[in-house]
Amino acid sequence: MRGRYVNLARTRTLDPERDYLAIYQTMLRYEFPWDMKLGLNLAFNRSFSIPTIAAVHTATGELTERTQKRLDDTGLLMYEMVLNGFDHRRGRDALRRINQIHRPYDIGNDDYRYVLGCLVVIPTRWLQRYGWRQPCCHERQATHLFYRELGRRMSITDIPDSYEDFETWFDAHDAVHLQPNDDAAAIERATRILMLSRIPTPLAPLGNALVSAIYDAPLRRAMRVETPAWPVRAGLHLALKTRSRLQRWFGAPRTTPLFADGINTKTYPNGYDISQLGPQQAHVPVRPEA
């Protein structure tokens, strides 16, 4: 337990309004690396499942036909901004590329705002449930401020003013718009193949049930995924809770930050050019009318 809370103590000396990037970097790179990566994956997974957003992705085929590349590109662009900030050259290049990718699409402000909400709320709730400790108020505020700034630089408007307000807006929007749809089901089938490849070999027979158990009930309904048997859900919950307690009691602060040796992906084993991430096709279909 000695020194287990040293990063939290340091975070509490910072001002989230000024130091939100440093706080968020500490969360991802030192305090909760595995949980944050999984939480961000679940956040994007949920954002892909709103019918209007899912329709865009199935129309392009990026997630259903080039799944590994699409997910790697998304992760690389996001992590470049987190690791470097919005004013560093690489962070600016990543943000510029994100705006270039989205510019041809007819995407409404509420859809953009929902994706931001997923990135703010979903990983935070995962930490609240399965992190080795609860995220503190500084960390919740820093998370909100990081994505508020990202949204501002993407020209997204009406972003809620606090984490709590964003959480309230997100839940209300989610309840209305996260509805069962075939596009979300198609995307889930494609991305599930990659998730199954990460299941440890001894658990492979339970792979599909474990992946489904990670999703909450509204997300399973939207993606037309069957609810796994309660022993699988209970077993996963118990395993994750046990992991969090072992980390809290016996863990130590990470000394080497996540991505210290760069961001490695299957798609780009020899490195990547930020300007070349994302779809390269000349024609991009417009989102179908809802």
Picking from 152, 143, 145, the residue whose alpha carbon sits closest to that of residue 40 is 143
Q: What is the pLDDT of residue 221?
A: 97
What separation, in Å, do the N-terminal and C-terminal C-alpha atoms of the chain show? Answer: 53
Condensed to tens digits (0 to 9), the pLDDT of residues 113-160 reads: 999 999 999 999 999 999 999 999 999 999 999 999 999 999 999 999
Cα 57 to Cα 63: distance, rounded to the nearest angstrom: 6
Identity of the amino acid at 282: A
Reported as a single tens digit per residue, the pLDDT across 20-57 is 999 999 999 999 999 999 999 999 999 999 999 999 99
Averaged pLDDT for residues 240-251: 96
Each domain of the chain, given as residue ranges in start order, spans 16-259
- The answer to whether the Cα torsion of 146, 119, 28, 26 is positive or negative is positive
pTM of the entire structure? 0.94
Q: Which spans in 107-181 are helix H?
A: 109-130, 137-153, 163-177
CA count, 13 A, side-chain hemisphere, 218: 15
Residue 45, both tokens: 């997974």
Do the Cβ atoms of 58 and 255 come closer than 8 Å? no
Q: What is the dihedral of CA 259, 278, 290, 47, to 10 degrees?
A: -10
Average pLDDT over residues 94-108: 95
Q: Is the pLDDT confidence value at 290 over 70?
A: no
Cβ neighbour number for residue 51 with a 10 Å cutoff = 17
